[in-house]
Amino acid sequence: MKLITLTLVCAALSAQSHDLLLKGGHLIDPRNNIDAPMDVAIRDGKISAVASNIPAAQARRVIDVSGLHVTPGLIDLHTHLYHSTGIKNAWAGDNSVQPDAFSFRTGVTTMVDAGSSGWRNFEDFRFFVIDRARTRVLALINIAGFGMMTDFVEQGDFDAAAVAKLAKAHKDVVVGVKSAHYQKPGWESVDEAVAAGKAASIPIMVDFGYFLPERPYYELVTKRLRPGDISTHCFRGPVPWVDEQGKLYSYFHEARKRGVRFDVGHGGGSFVLRNAAAAISQGFYPDTISTDLHTGSMNAAMIDMPTTMSKCLVLGMPLKDVIRASTWTPAQSIQRTELGHLSAGAGADVAVWNLQSGSFGYADASAGRLEGRQRLFCELTLRAGSIAWNYNARGGPDYKTMPSDYGVRKGIDHVIRPPK
């Protein structure tokens, strides 16, 4: 009898082909053109199955995500994470944030640092931040030698060859080149970044910074940038979006046809609703949604990635396109197509969302306000198949059903009861 019982137990365990099953959710996976109720199964840190009804008995652990949306883990294409320098009031310093402190609670599993470090100090950034984070941290190397420690270095110290050499040596984490905050009237910063991008076969991202008449924005996106290059802060106040009749300027379509990509990069001062509303209402959606996360933006109008996504959603961008711009398109933009989707065999970076209905207010970077009826809220985040954020403690057993000594570390803790 014992042998039969043991055989049945072993057979049941062998039938459990998945470690974890997210059951009952609505999956949005733009790369695979899925926008439907689907279960997602995980084994050994990878997606093992996606289907409309995977039996619960096939998984060792089941989490009920009924009524929620399931997506790939988000890729935030514009963040500042070089927090370890100790430099006061610097983007590469106290203004940067510790990645794990802000990623998972917002559904983000991959963060791209947007040029906080340059070719002179990138290896320090890698040692102290990138290699220590549980979040997947990738990086754009700034064309300026010391990156964004000060605005002074943004006015010189460019070396395209040094940037390309460093990018090739660290190609596992370096995904592009950054030009930012340039204050002079010429194109030196952009042109040197393009030269570095060409030499290393990677895209560049341009934060145009100071808008000057000698170098108009439309020339940046129609002539200077290459296919695959990224213009961040696309909804910044000085960007000319519409003419006197409120019609979108044609140069945006020309730039997109050339393959230039437009990134939100909300930040503390780079998102105004009048520009975003004009673009989205006329069907010109941003290619990628990102935060420009730093200590200033997270405590101001930007707040976080779900809030930034929600602004685009309530302005009229369809939910599937919002998810695409936060997952699959950023993965393509940084040439990391193994990310941003939930295909079988892909890494199990997953976010689970509560699409809330109600009355929500959204601010832009210049005190403009928008009223919306929807808001995305992250309930659960998985990084490589393990739970990294679990807002509602989904999947855990009721504590009353657990052994009376749960929480006691065997061989370590000693429960010394008081005398009667």
Give residue limits of the domains in the chain. 72-376
Identify the segments of the chain with pLDDT beneath 70: 1-15, 151-156
pLDDT at 156: 66
Name beta bridge partners: 355. Answer: 376
d(CA 110, CA 103): 8
Q: What is the pTM of this model?
A: 0.94
pLDDT at 223: 97
pLDDT at 101: 97
Chain segment 97-138, per-residue pLDDT in tens? 999 999 999 999 999 999 999 999 999 999 999 999 999 999
pLDDT at 5: 43
Name beta bridge partners: 115. Answer: none
Assign 248 to helix, strand or coil. strand
Chain segment 150-162, per-residue pLDDT in tens? 765 555 689 999 9
Chain segment 226-283, per-residue pLDDT in tens? 999 999 999 999 999 999 999 999 999 999 999 999 999 999 999 999 999 999 999 9
C-beta neighbour count of 30 within 10 angstroms: 21
What ranges make up the beta strands (E) of 94-240? 108-118, 136-142, 174-180, 204-207, 230-231
pLDDT at 8: 35
Residue 177 · residue 141 · CB < 8 Å = yes
d(CA 69, CA 73): 12
Q: Are strands 18-23 and 59-64 parallel, antiparallel or unpaired?
A: parallel
Quick one: CATH architecture of 72-376? Answer: Alpha-Beta Barrel (3.20)
Tokens of residue 131, six digits: 């290699």
What order do you get walking across the sheet with 204-207 strand by strand? 74-79, 108-118, 136-142, 174-180, 204-207, 230-231, 261-262
Residue (of 337, 341, 318, 326) closest to 378 by Cα position: 326
Cα 394 to chain centroid distance, Å, stands at: 23
Q: What share of the chain is helix, strand, coil (3-state, %, to 5)?
A: 30, 30, 45
pLDDT at 6: 42
